[in-house]
């Protein structure tokens, strides 16, 4: 059985399982949805809603309507949020306050679990070779998560990417408040948007504060390298909300053709780009 790794520093405690950050607690109070925890450690709340705690979305974010992306003359089968979510991370090192992991992909087929319930989706996902480094570090009253993406293929690699963490939220949408700049949104706004499409997109924003108005508990999330946010909830009854830093917002009308139109990132052969997210707990 894979090890549940615990990091601790001062009032903070974080847990990692199979490469996923599955718990962030301050003074014993949990902030993260535990969908990615081992089954025997899940609370009743962890067992409902989304079955993950977080994923890295790459090389696509959001749906892929024709289940393929194009790089030059080549076509690669893809599904929602891409291939990285289905690849495992290997622990390279860890100490009491930090952990360093890597995900390696050399090409070839990766089984697509979504095919089991949607036969129109591809049975396997394929992409260009890459390395994805991930580190998690406790810093004061914050958790910093960093990603390093390297193109190991012999082609110029187009992509979109994002991080998709799931946090605990009040069951009533009226009791959750988002603040960014001078703007505000309610959790209810996010829940309603998530019913109709893939969440509520916020363009050009890299930091946001989410407050549970009942308990006063809040999260301040800031990112570097992404540039946009997408907010999503699986539904009011689950008490969860995802705050997703993304390089590009998902296209929801079916007109996106990856990667022959729209905006995307690009890496040359052997080029590396880093992204980071800091979560401050209050």
Q: Say if residue 262's pLDDT is above 70.
A: yes
What was the pLDDT predicted at 154?
Answer: 96
Q: What is the rounded CA–CA span in Å between residue 165 and residue 243?
A: 6
Mean pLDDT of 33-45: 95
pTM of the entire predicted model: 0.95
| pLDDT tens per residue across span 190-237 | 999 998 877 899 999 999 999 999 999 999 999 999 999 999 998 888
What was the pLDDT predicted at 116?
Answer: 86
Is beta strand 5-9 parallel, antiparallel or unpaired with respect to 20-26?
A: unpaired
CATH number, domain of 273, equals: 2.70.98.10
CB contact at 8 A, 84 and 134? no
State which residues form the domain around 177. Answer: 5-281
Concatenating the DSSP letter of every residue in 203-237 gives TT--EEEEEETTT--EEEEEEES--EEEEE-S-GG
pLDDT tier, 256 (very low <50, low <70, confident <90, very high otherwise): low
C-alpha closest to that of 237 among 62, 50, 80 = 50
Q: Say if residue 259's pLDDT is above 90.
A: no
Tokens matching residue 227: 């540039």
pLDDT tier, 119 (very low <50, low <70, confident <90, very high otherwise): confident
Scored b (16 or more CB within 10 A) or e, 118-129 reads eeebbeebbbbb
Q: Say if residue 91's pLDDT is above 70.
A: yes
């Amino acid at each position: 059985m894979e090890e549940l790794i615990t990091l601790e520093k001062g009032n903070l405690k974080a847990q990692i399982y199979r490469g996923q950050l599955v718990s962030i607690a301050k003074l014993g109070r949990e902030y993260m949805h535990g969908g990615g925890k081992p089954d025997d450690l899940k609370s009743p709340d962890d067992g409902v809603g989304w079955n993950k705690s977080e994923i890295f979305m790459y090389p696509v974010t959001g749906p892929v309507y024709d289940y393929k992306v194009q790089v030059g003359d080549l076509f690669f089968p893809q599904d929602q949020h891409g291939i990285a979510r289905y690849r495992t991370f290997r622990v390279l090192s860890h100490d009491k306050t930090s952990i360093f992991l890597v995900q390696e992909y050399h090409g070839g087929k990766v089984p697509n679990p979504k095919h089991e319930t949607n036969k129109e989706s591809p049975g396997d996902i394929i992409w260009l070779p890459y390395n994805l480094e991930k580190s998690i570090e406790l810093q004061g009253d914050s958790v910093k998560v960093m990603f390093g993406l390297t193109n190991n293929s012999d082609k110029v690699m187009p992509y979109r990417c994002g991080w998709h963490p799931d946090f605990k939220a009040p069951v009533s949408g009226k009791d959750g408040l988002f603040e960014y700049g001078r703007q505000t949104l309610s959790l209810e706004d996010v829940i309603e948007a998530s019913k109709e499409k893939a969440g509520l997109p916020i363009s050009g924003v890299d930091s946001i504060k989410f407050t549970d108005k009942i308990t006063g508990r809040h999260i301040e999330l800031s990112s570097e390298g992404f540039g946009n946010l997408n907010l999503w909830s699986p539904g009011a009854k689950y008490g969860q909300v995802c705050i997703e830093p993304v390089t590009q917002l998902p296209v929801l009308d079916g007109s996106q053709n990856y990667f022959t139109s729209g905006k995307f990132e690009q890496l040359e052969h052997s080029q590396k780009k880093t992204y980071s997210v800091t979560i401050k707990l209050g």
